[in-house]
Amino acid sequence: MNWRNNTHPQVVAVLGAGSWGTTFAKIVADAGASRATDVRVWARRPEIAVDINERHRNTQYLKDTVLPANLTASADPAEVLADAELVVLAVPAQTLRAQLRSVRDLIPEGAVVVSLMKGLEVGTDSRMSQVIEEELHWPKERVAVISGPNLAMEIANRQPTASVVACADLETAAWIARACTAPYFRPYTNTDVVGVEIGGIVKNVIALAVGICEGKGMGDNTKASVMTRGLAETTRLALALGGDAETMAGLAGMGDLIATCSSPLSRNHTAGRLLAQGLTLDEVNASMKQTAEGIKSAQAVLDRATQLGVYMPITENVVAVLQGAISVDELGPRLLSRELKSESVHAQ
């Protein structure tokens, strides 16, 4: 199979039936409705597949949002992946490697693989695209990432948004973008996979900090300060890894950061707020339907920054809160107690 023979994919497989996985499947199904694109979702829980197939809804994650008729689901990954030209991965970041090992023999040779995940793998500090390339032995030209201000519930309700499709091969990125261009979803393309992934990863950690600040009753000045300085340390890490500063000023950097730090729909923002209200980390995790990736990835982000000599004080203090080394009451003052220096992104 050669995906380049088709202007648009005929079969799209989405692995993961959470809020963002299902929403992205809806986007592709809406985009391909006139072409009868076959969009299939793998659901770990059979009852979710039944809900999607019989009621055209995923009530667990998207409430009463009606899903397109050309979107179906199955708990059998072989059924979902058969003949897929575009394979979209939307599973928790820390489970990705194991998931890929269980399905890699089912992924059609030549398929394009897309990551919707925003996390670093604990233990290896690998980005999700790197895990995909390692486990599938896939070339960079057929591995892409999508990121941006992607609050699933808003997009599922057809509220307009824009995002970025990044791939080392711009033609591949453009092919994916055509597949997911819907009336309410506008994808842009670039080749900065590193920058797009780092923007999506670190903003979750910054959102935890902003959520904590909000939960402690701090105002908009505080939150704006944390977001702005958070973007600066995100940019430092991205540049150190070979990313592009322009990406950090765009949808996958500043855009995603603003949405994730500002919205009550954001899992990481919500997790930070719950921590500030006195819940333990275990209680926060138990109270949420889906993973707040910032909790899982914060230590990996700090480890990577330390290896590269990149100073990330907000990330460092969020990790200290998560590990119980400091209390949520100490976070705000610690962020302001650093020595005076230039505002430049390059200032450590």
Binding site annotation covers 184? no
The answer to whether 123 is annotated as binding is no
Axis crossing angle, helix 328-336 with helix 313-322, rounded to the nearest 10: 160
Helix H or strand E encompassing 161: strand 161-167
Contact 99, 15 (CB under 8 A): yes
User: Left (φ > 0), alpha (ψ -120 to 50) or beta: where does 36 sit?
Assistant: left
Q: Residue 152, annotated ligand binder?
A: yes
Known binding residue 61? Answer is: yes
Within 8 A by CB and 6+ apart from 225, the residues are none
> Active-site residue 203, yes or no?
yes
* Residue 18 in marked binding region: yes
Tell me how far CA of residue 168 lies from CA of 36, 95, 172, in angstroms: 29, 24, 8
Query: Does 266 count as an annotated binding residue?
Result: yes
The active-site residue, picked from 26, 203, 223, 296, is: 203
Annotated binding-site residue? 267: yes
Quick count: other Cβ atoms within 10 Å of Cβ 141? 14
Is 262 annotated among the ligand-binding residues? no
Give the CA distances from residue 60 to residues 50, 55, 88, 95, 133, in Å, rounded to whole numbers and listed in that order.
Answer: 12, 12, 20, 20, 32
Q: Is 268 annotated as a binding residue?
A: yes
Report whether 256 belongs to an annotated binding site: yes
Strand partners of residue 72: 40
204 is in an annotated binding site: no
Which secondary-structure segment (H or E) carries 226? helix 220-240
Is 138 assigned to a binding site? Answer: no
Contact 152, 128 (CB under 8 A): no
Q: Does 20 carry a binding-site annotation?
A: yes
Annotated binding site for substrate: 118, 267-268
Catalytic residues: 203
Annotated binding site: 16-21, 44-45, 61, 118, 148, 152, 203, 256, 266-268, 293
Annotated binding site for NADPH: 19-20, 44-45, 61, 118, 152, 267, 293
Annotated binding site for NAD(+): 16-21, 152, 267
Annotated binding site for sn-glycerol 3-phosphate: 118, 148, 203, 256, 266-268
